[in-house]
Copies of this chain bind each other. A is one copy, B any other.
Amino acid sequence: MLMRRFIIVGHKVPNDGRFTLNDLAGSAGRVDILCRCINSAFFLSHAMRKEVEVQLVLPAGPDPCTIVRFVGAELRYLNPDERSTAALIRNALLKRPGSAEIPSTPGVYARRGTLAVALESVATKSKIFLLHEDGEDFASVYVSSDPASSMSDDSDSTFLLGDNTDLSPDELETLERFKHKLVSLGSISYHSDHCITYLNLELDRRADMVCKKAPS
């Protein structure tokens, strides 16, 4: 199965999971943004995207940097509202995992690990794209102008995004160790979850065009 992967750095989420669900945009360190990214990554109207994987990289402390991984093919108990998604993230963090990944709720895993660990986990099987306003336009970088020839470009891609702040200089330095491209969705700067929604729908539409063009 061709995968779509998203890695999102949540710079301020308390990674021991000790935050209240009543203040997601405040003391929970803008975990609301990550919840919306999860929603955008996985939800169809009456189904879940099974071909999607999301890794949330949470460096803020007080614990060592932690990765919460959502696997579309295994996910249960994911609902579209922010609060319930935040509860899934919190439950995973409250497991206080070690460097070995452990399961939380179905389809949600946690481990200690940095952005480098997250990127290493995808680098051999996936192209890596950093979403950034200064990048080349998505349409010209990612997909060729001929839909029929874009199929191979639609294989196993990882999109890396920040939360409400760009990647830090240290994080960009980490990224430099991996082959990657900067891609932009246009001249306007968008919220991360909106970028993910657009990418998902646009890739669906392009795959649809390829299917319709393929000989029957």
Contact = CB atoms under 8 A, between A and B. Distances in A.
A34 B40 CA distance: 15
A124 interface: no
A125 interface: no
A186 interface: yes
A44 B81 contact: no
A149 interface: no
From A83, A139, A185, A208, residue with most partner B Cβ within 10 Å:
A83
Interface string A160-199: 0000100000000000000000000111111101100110
Given A185-B205, A204-B186, A32 B80 contact: yes
A40 B201 CA distance: 14
B82 A81 contact: yes
A33 interface: yes
Contacts of A200: 194
B81 A25 contact: yes
A43 interface: yes
Interface of A: 22, 24-25, 32-33, 36, 39-40, 43-46, 79-84, 139, 164, 185-191, 193-194, 197-198, 200-202, 204-205, 208
The 5 closest A-B pairs by CB, nearest first: A45-B189, A25-B81, A32-B81, A197-B197, A198-B201
16 contacts: A22-B22, A24-B81, A33-B80, A40-B197, A43-B191, A44-B189, A44-B190, A44-B191, A45-B188, A45-B189, A46-B189, A82-B83, A83-B83, A185-B205, A186-B208, A194-B200
